[in-house]
Amino acid sequence: MSIDSQSSSEFTPEELTELVKLSIPKHVAIIMDGNGRWAQAQGKPRVMGHRAGVKAVRRVVSTAREMGVGSLTLFAFSSENWRRPDKEVSLLMELFFSVLQREIKLLHKNGVRLNIIGDISRFPERLQKQIASAESKTADNSDLILNVAANYGGRWDIMQAAAALAKKVESGEMSSSQFTEEALNEHLCMQNQPEVDLMIRTGGDFRISNFILWQAAYAELVFTDTLWPDFDEGAFRQSIATFASRQRRFGLTGCQIESMQAQK
């Protein structure tokens, strides 16, 4: 079953039943928080935390693929992160570039399709070219879609989709009555992927920080004190287990959910 381009209020009974029974999320999103604090706790520069965080990314991507997760979305650099010190932003850009160079062959070998979401126009030109090359190389892979949110914000995503639809209305390409949730969804980042089932935030904070607001409308939220560089395979599997233990109701009653779960 695919829930692409659907709002949760429009699932058929059969689709709702399948969602209720879902034990492995189709789409997991992670706010990777705690790199800087991890480094500072060890008396190291913040950039060392970001480098250690790359190893955590590698572990989580591998585990997600093994467990059968279809889409994994990682919050790498938010539109608000430009407010950080210039030196740290510059180092992050260099790290992003080098990681793309180093990791893309491994991602491709393991059937992972890389998809960068966000407004990359502000990035250095050579990074934009590297992103385009990496996406092109892995475009036909289907084992796992790895979405990396870079210069991304949830409000930006909704606004750019709304602006695209507004232009169509102004030009007469569509009427205002066709400006629907489904139409908006088709212009969002990740429009052809399932909605987010599970959102994880590491680092001990309890907020979603303008991450994928629309796509995570019915996501289960898991917050952990573990700093991102220490988030290993076991921590990821525990988050999946927490997801599987919860009762997802989608506006229904607990009794209705239990009836669906009892169906063979």
Looking at the annotation, which residues are catalytic? 33, 81
| 185 touches 214 (CB < 8 A) | yes
Strand arrangement, sheet containing 220-223: 112-117, 144-152, 71-78, 27-31, 198-201, 220-223
How many helices (DSSP H) and strands (DSSP E) are in the chain?
A: 9, 6
Q: How many residues does the chain have?
A: 264
Structure tokens at 95: 């790290």
Exposure class string for 121-150: b at 16+ Cβ within 10 A, else e: eebeeebeebbeebeeebeebeebbbbbbb
Residues forming beta bridges with residue 32, ordered by sequence position: none
Other CB atoms within 10 A of residue 65 CB: 18
